[in-house]
Chains A and B, each alone.
Chain A
């Protein structure tokens, strides 16, 4: 149980195009999903937290107009990198928190990640 999928796993695009990454919780409902970015040889950096049906909360320094997050249902959140540039090339990871998880079960389930390369 507690499987999170991401699609696509790898994407290469031209500079200036927009790329959408999907994050799905397959066997549970996720009220909260998190989007991370990871540069080579670095730790995960939280970009934003999205709660189903409300606007995402972005971390300081993350451009909300650049990284559009939509958490339209309890099983799907999307991250759209708009007008991507080479500096946006990175590994993007989503995670989800089970709606039924109480405070005593504080865990995020991670997707396999999406490797974005912008040429």
Chain B
């Protein structure tokens, strides 16, 4: 069965610290997509990254980086030198491409609330 686990319910760090948000997924498909979204207090989801299952290269975008490890079924997200504006709820999600009746639905993790204190 497909599942996304974000074990960290809430993380609180002081500004400028690095922080890693964990995401572990389960799927039987060999082709799938992983996503990270940010949801600030306004509620609007902000797309951060999409990664397909065949691309295990880590990605860096400014202060954000992602570590995709198929061997451990993890897709962790690191924020370097965190800022107060990074405070939000972050969701990891999985979409399976092979399930014909899936309509490419997203399977969501529970989310991690990140609090960056000044």
What size tier do the contact residues of chain A reach?
Answer: 20 to 34
Contact of A115 with B43 in the complex, beta carbons under 8 Å: yes
With contact pairs A32-B103, A106-B104, A113-B43 given, residues A44 and B33 touching in the complex (Cβ less than 8 Å): no
- Give the contacts of B1-53 with A (CB-CB under 8 A): 31, 33, 35, 37, 42-45, 47, 50, 52
A110 contact from B44, B50, B95, B109, Cβ within 8 A: B44
**Does A103 interact with chain B (Cβ within 8 Å)?**
yes
Contact of B45 with A110 in the complex, beta carbons under 8 Å: yes
Contact of B108 with A106 in the complex, beta carbons under 8 Å: no
Q: How far is the CB of B74 from chain A (nearest CB, A)?
A: 18
28 A-B pairs, CB-CB below 8 angstroms?
Answer: A34-B105, A34-B106, A42-B110, A43-B91, A43-B111, A44-B91, A44-B108, A46-B105, A46-B106, A49-B103, A91-B43, A93-B43, A95-B106, A97-B104, A104-B52, A106-B50, A106-B52, A106-B97, A106-B104, A107-B33, A107-B35, A107-B50, A109-B47, A110-B44, A112-B42, A112-B44, A113-B44, A113-B45
With contact pairs A91-B43, A113-B44 given, residues A32 and B109 touching in the complex (Cβ less than 8 Å): no
What size tier do the contact residues of chain B reach?
Answer: 20 to 34
Q: How far is the CB of B15 from chain A (nearest CB, A)?
A: 23
CA distance A44 to B6 in the complex (A): 14
Residues of A within 8 A of B37 (CB): 110
Chain A binding site: helix, strand, loop or mixed by DSSP? Answer: strand
Contact of B104 with A32 in the complex, beta carbons under 8 Å: yes
Residue of A nearest to B37 (CB): A110
CA distance A49 to B97 in the complex (A): 16
10 closest A-B pairs by beta carbon, nearest first, are A112-B44, A110-B45, A113-B43, A43-B108, A106-B33, A43-B110, A49-B103, A44-B108, A106-B104, A43-B111
**Does A117 interact with chain B (Cβ within 8 Å)?**
no
Residues of B within 8 A of A80 (CB): none
